[in-house]
């Protein structure tokens, strides 16, 4: 979500909501967090970062979508750790790759994190698989919960835009376009999520079968196979598969273009957005996941886009996310030990 879709007031409200949820999740993890969860959070964060770089084509629409990743994280990490990881991914994307505006960062964290972690996972996924975590139930639960999460997330985008007074995007028309295209994206992501969850369950059943809010992994059992598998997948996805991302506009851009005629609406001038934009220009080391300078565009998008800048972005971004998530985990661990001594 770009800054142009939000007013400073709505953007600030979403920042407050997301920041409050981050603090809440950190407190819940401080009370009871298995230290073995920290490296798993890191490699999964790196994988989600890489996965979000790859847009897949939605057949017969001229649109594309990418994974949100929130439900996969919630299933494998629990909702509190999942929210911190998805927040870390989006922070790195916005600061260092200019993917999503800084004013919109709070809204993006909310839209991609709250619904899968605190609605889709506990109310849909956990309810379906609690008594029987068969591959069929996992697949059904994953598809349903991912689709619900993306429907609520896309609905939030529409409402946030309406509350921001973006008159170029009428509520009813925007809603009619956003919901169906994100349903299609959700179905595809749901299948992908189920496949990864079933694979991880074969390696470490306790990771998937523990349905508590804060997971407690089995003592003595090694996470090495899972960590290596997800790290390799993150490297391949970000370094190579990212070349094959769809050239079609994503679901949000596609919906805007259908209404406005362009994939973006103009940015309204205000000092807050202008200052945030200038700050983002300074922090973005690889804007748009490319070595090209800002404003330098390909005349004809190629596919596959074999680009060393894209590969470098996938690898550097993954390392950044892993580092930030591990620092989050270490910080929570230190706070817990400090509290125990008091």
Residues 6+ apart with CB under 8 A from 118: 79, 83
pLDDT at 134 over 90: yes
* pLDDT confidence of residue 212: 78
What sign has the CA pseudo-torsion 26, 27, 28, 32? Answer: positive
Q: Write down the residue that tokens 């125990």 correspond to.
A: 340
**Averaged pLDDT score across all residues of the chain:** 93
Segments forming the whole domain that contains residue 245: 3-294+301-341
pLDDT band at 269 (very low <50, low <70, confident <90, very high): confident
Q: What digits encode the pLDDT tens for the residues 48-76? A: 999 999 999 999 999 999 999 999 999 99
Q: What is the DSSP string of 142-154?
A: HHHHHHHHHHHHH
Residue 104 belongs to a domain with what CATH number?
1.10.1760.20
* pLDDT confidence of residue 113: 97
* pLDDT confidence of residue 306: 80
Write out the two tokens for 227: 């960590």
**CA nearest neighbour of 318 among 69, 106, 136:** 69
**Poorest-pLDDT segment among 39-43, 106-110, 179-183, 287-291:** 287-291
How would you class 211 by CB atoms within 10 Å of its CB: exposed for 0-12, middle for 13-18, buried for 19 or more? Answer: middle
> Mean per-residue pLDDT for 308-313?
92
pLDDT at 259 over 90: yes
Please, are residues 96 and 289 in contact by the beta-carbon 8 Å criterion?
Answer: no
pLDDT at 213 over 90: no
Question: In this predicted model, which residue has the larger pLDDT, 216 or 56?
Answer: 56
Measured in whole angstroms, how far is the alpha carbon of residue 316 from the centre of its chain? 17
Write out the two tokens for 49: 């970062």
* pLDDT confidence of residue 301: 65
Q: What digits encode the pLDDT tens for the residues 142-182? A: 999 999 999 999 999 999 999 999 999 999 999 999 999 99
* pLDDT confidence of residue 295: 52
Write out the two tokens for 115: 């619904």
The percent of residues in the chain predicted with pLDDT above 70, rounded, is 96
Q: What is the pTM of this model?
A: 0.93
Question: In this predicted model, which residue has the larger pLDDT, 298 or 178?
Answer: 178
The percent of residues in the chain predicted with pLDDT above 90, rounded, is 82
Distance CA 78, CA 291 (A): 36
Q: What total of structural domains would you count in the chain?
A: 1
């Amino acid at each position: 979500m770009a800054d142009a879709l939000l007013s400073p007031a709505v953007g600030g409200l979403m920042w407050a909501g997301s920041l409050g949820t981050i603090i809440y999740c950190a407190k819940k993890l401080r009370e009871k967090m298995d230290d073995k969860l920290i490296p798993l959070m890191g490699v999964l964060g790196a994988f989600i970062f890489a996965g979000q770089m790859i847009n897949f084509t939605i057949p017969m629409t001229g649109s594309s979508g990418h994974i949100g990743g929130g439900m996969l994280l919630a299933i494998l990490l629990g909702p509190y750790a999942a929210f911190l990881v998805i927040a870390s991914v989006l922070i790195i994307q916005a600061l260092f790759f200019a993917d999503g505006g800084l004013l919109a960062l709070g809204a993006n964290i909310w839209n991609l994190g709250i619904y899968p972690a605190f609605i889709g996972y506990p109310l849909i996924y956990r309810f379906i698989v609690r008594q029987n975590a068969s591959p069929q139930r996992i697949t059904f639960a994953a598809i349903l919960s991912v689709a619900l999460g993306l429907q609520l997330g896309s609905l939030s985008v529409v409402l946030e835009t309406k509350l921001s007074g973006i008159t170029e995007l009428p509520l009813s028309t925007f809603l009619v376009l956003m919901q169906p295209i994100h349903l299609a994206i959700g179905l595809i992501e749901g299948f992908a999520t189920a496949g990864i969850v079933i694979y991880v369950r074969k390696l470490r059943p306790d990771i998937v079968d523990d349905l508590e809010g804060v997971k407690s992994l089995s003592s003595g059992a090694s996470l090495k196979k899972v960590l290596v598998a997800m790290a390799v997948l993150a490297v391949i996805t970000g370094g190579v598969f990212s070349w094959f991302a769809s050239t079609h506009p994503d679901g949000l851009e596609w919906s805007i273009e259908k209404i406005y005629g362009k994939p973006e609406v103009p940015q309204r001038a205000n000092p807050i957005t202008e200052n945030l934009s200038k700050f983002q220009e300074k922090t973005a080391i690889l804007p748009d996941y490319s070595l090209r300078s800002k404003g330098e565009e390909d005349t004809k998008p190629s596919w596959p886009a074999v680009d060393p800048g894209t590969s470098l972005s996938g690898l550097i971004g993954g390392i950044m996310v892993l580092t930030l998530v591990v620092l989050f985990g270490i910080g929570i661990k230190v706070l817990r030990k400090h509290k125990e001594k008091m």
